[in-house]
Amino acid sequence: MAKTILVVDDDPTQRRLVQAVLEREGFAVVHAESGDEALKRMQGGGGADLILLDMVMPGLTGMETLAELRAGGDTTPVIVLTANGGIETVVKAMQAGAQDFFIKPVGPERLLVGVENALQVTRLTAEVGRLKKHVAGRTTFDDLIGDSPAMRTVKSFGARAAKSNIPVLITGESGVGKEVIARALHGASDRAGKPFVAVNCGALPANLVESILFGHEKGAFTGAVEKTLGKFREAEGGTLFLDEIGELPLDMQVKLLRALQESEIDPVGAKRPVKVDVRIVSATNRDPAQQVREGAFREDLFYRLNVFPIEAPSLRDRREDIPALVDHFITRFNAEEGRRVMGASPETLALLTTHDWPGNVRQLENAVYRALVLADAPWLQPHDFPAISGIAAPLPSDAPATAQAEISSAVPAIDSPVRILDDLGHLRTLEDIERDLIQHAIDVYAGHMSEIARRLGIGRSTLYRKVREQGLDAILPPDAQAVG
């Protein structure tokens, strides 16, 4: 999902130059001519992922604008631009809440590195906060990814259910995120911070289901060498999440029904029942009503669990949430794998959004993980998802000579527009050849400096330096000039 950057500067030329550099790298750019206009946009719901803020403007200065943003609780990362590179200016900007600063004129390379670093830090900070809430059992519905109509319904219903101890049954296909919803129910309730215990009923050994759920006393059966509390008592005061409840054996369904009705359990080998205080949230990827009709699920237990049903939508029913989910997974896996992938290209997002995803969010998560680990570029491309796009990744530069030869033979040969010999048949100077080569690359790739640098095998800063040295600035498209 393209990040939106707000450029706040009273100089229209500066705004256009910055916009050209950023848009070539896939960012969306919006403008504000003054601090007042920037504040109106940010406070009026327009928003942005990052702000480039000039320090010297008519009306509100950049420093005053930054102070107003932070005073209003806006945490959007801000990079300030100043013509005065004095240490005092920099210190004041950082103390006011800026993430970075640029001294005008700023080159494209420095601009992009600063923007990417600020966005990366912001994403990592958000992910750390999300993980802390997850560990503390305080995940809420505000932390759920997605704002589609289907997800808004889930969030609305879930927020209402969280205010009481009413039993909730979450239904939906495998991989849609039923446990995530259950954790949000717990985190948004009065039981937040207390234990959240998840049990996959389909993974419990048939002969140990009762012991795992309700606990047992020491010596209650062969192998019971010590007392075990069981999942109900582990969740005391908190929430017990019974995933795949439809897999629970019928004899255990009877005991579970008693636990729900009486708020007490009978540990194996215990002399008397034990009172428990837990909230039950259950989930299934089956149709529980159909299971009742088939005799595979007790009707009385179904009615007891299905007091407040919530249906988790499949990913194909909330396609508009896919860009946000992809962005979230990229941020998480960047942190886990030490990568610096910026996001997914527009073509990639279009591809992922139209895919049906039979495995839902879990499948998307795994696909992004694989793509990020194997990606060579800052933005994920369609070939990073070969199972979906059907496009194989390009061969690396060190591919076997035979493979390179096959590729070369498939491409029609053309005369080189860069001459090596002069009119007398002597070798031209290396400087002249290099100049013609760069000029030809600028024509072929329409002044797209990132692509030109990649094709020539040099860094962009080196390319800009050679362009200036060779006097090729004049032939560059206006949006390819260095930002100044």
DSSP sequence for 213-249:
HH-B-TTSSTT--S-B--HHHHTTTSEEEEETGGGS-
Q: With respect to residue 119, please indicate whether it lies within any of the assigned structural domains.
A: yes
Name the burial class of residue 266, with classes exposed (0-12), middle (13-18) and buried (19+) by CB atoms within 10 angstroms of its CB: middle
Q: With respect to residue 13, please indicate whether it lies within any of the assigned structural domains.
A: yes
Q: Return the pLDDT at 1.
A: 61
Q: Which token pair is 433?
A: 């050849």
- The one-letter code for the residue type at 320 is E
- Per-residue pLDDT tens over the stretch 193-224: 899 999 999 999 988 899 999 999 888 787 77
The CATH number given to whatever domain includes residue 345 is 1.10.8.60
Whether the Cβ atoms of residue 364 and residue 145 lie closer than 8 Å to each other = no
Residue after which a domain boundary falls, among 70, 99, 132: 132
Co-location of 159 and 290 in the same domain = yes
Co-location of 305 and 323 in the same domain = no
Q: What is the DSSP string of 165-212?
A: ---EEEE--TTS-HHHHHHHHHHTSTTTTS-EEEEEGGGS-TTTHHHH
Q: Return the pLDDT at 404.
A: 45
Q: With respect to residue 248, please indicate whether it lies within any of the assigned structural domains.
A: yes
Distance from C-alpha of 110 to C-alpha of 127, rounded to nearest angstrom: 26
The CATH number given to whatever domain includes residue 443 is 1.10.10.60
Co-location of 307 and 322 in the same domain = no
Residues spanned by the domain of 467 = 416-480
Q: Return the pLDDT at 376.
A: 87
Co-location of 261 and 339 in the same domain = no
Residue after which a domain boundary falls, among 264, 288, 313: 313
In degrees rounded to 5, what are phi and psi of residue 8? -110, 110
Distance from C-alpha of 285 to C-alpha of 215, rounded to nearest angstrom: 27
Taking 50 as the pLDDT cut, the residues of the chain under it are 399, 401, 403-415, 482-484
Co-location of 193 and 239 in the same domain = yes
Whether the Cβ atoms of residue 50 and residue 77 lie closer than 8 Å to each other = yes
Q: With respect to residue 399, please indicate whether it lies within any of the assigned structural domains.
A: no
The CATH number given to whatever domain includes residue 40 is 3.40.50.2300
Distance from C-alpha of 401 to C-alpha of 410, rounded to nearest angstrom: 14
Q: Return the pLDDT at 85.
A: 61
Cis check for the bond before 195: say yes or no (omega within 30 of 0): no
For residue 328, how far is the Cα from the chain centroid? Answer: 1
Co-location of 335 and 459 in the same domain = no
Distance from C-alpha of 325 to C-alpha of 369, rounded to nearest angstrom: 12
Q: With respect to residue 402, please indicate whether it lies within any of the assigned structural domains.
A: no
Residue 232 Cα distances to 4, 229, 262, 267, angstroms: 47, 8, 13, 10
Whether the Cβ atoms of residue 407 and residue 371 lie closer than 8 Å to each other = no
Q: What is the dihedral of CA 38, 40, 45, 47, to 10 degrees?
A: 0
Structural domain tally of the chain? 4
Co-location of 159 and 124 in the same domain = no
Q: Return the pLDDT at 406.
A: 45
Whether the Cβ atoms of residue 166 and residue 308 lie closer than 8 Å to each other = yes
Q: What is the DSSP string of 56-124?
A: --SSS-HHHHHHHHHHTT----EEEEES---HHHHHHHHHTT-SEEEESS--HHHHHHHHHHHHHHHHH
Q: Which token pair is 429?
A: 């100077």
The CATH number given to whatever domain includes residue 290 is 3.40.50.300
Q: With respect to residue 394, please indicate whether it lies within any of the assigned structural domains.
A: no
Co-location of 172 and 307 in the same domain = yes
pTM: 0.69
Q: With respect to residue 434, please indicate whether it lies within any of the assigned structural domains.
A: yes
- Partners of 268 in beta bridges: 216
Co-location of 285 and 381 in the same domain = no
Co-location of 285 and 363 in the same domain = no
Co-location of 205 and 269 in the same domain = yes
Q: Return the pLDDT at 476.
A: 66
Co-location of 160 and 274 in the same domain = yes
Q: With respect to residue 411, please indicate whether it lies within any of the assigned structural domains.
A: no
Residue after which a domain boundary falls, among 373, 389, 405: 389
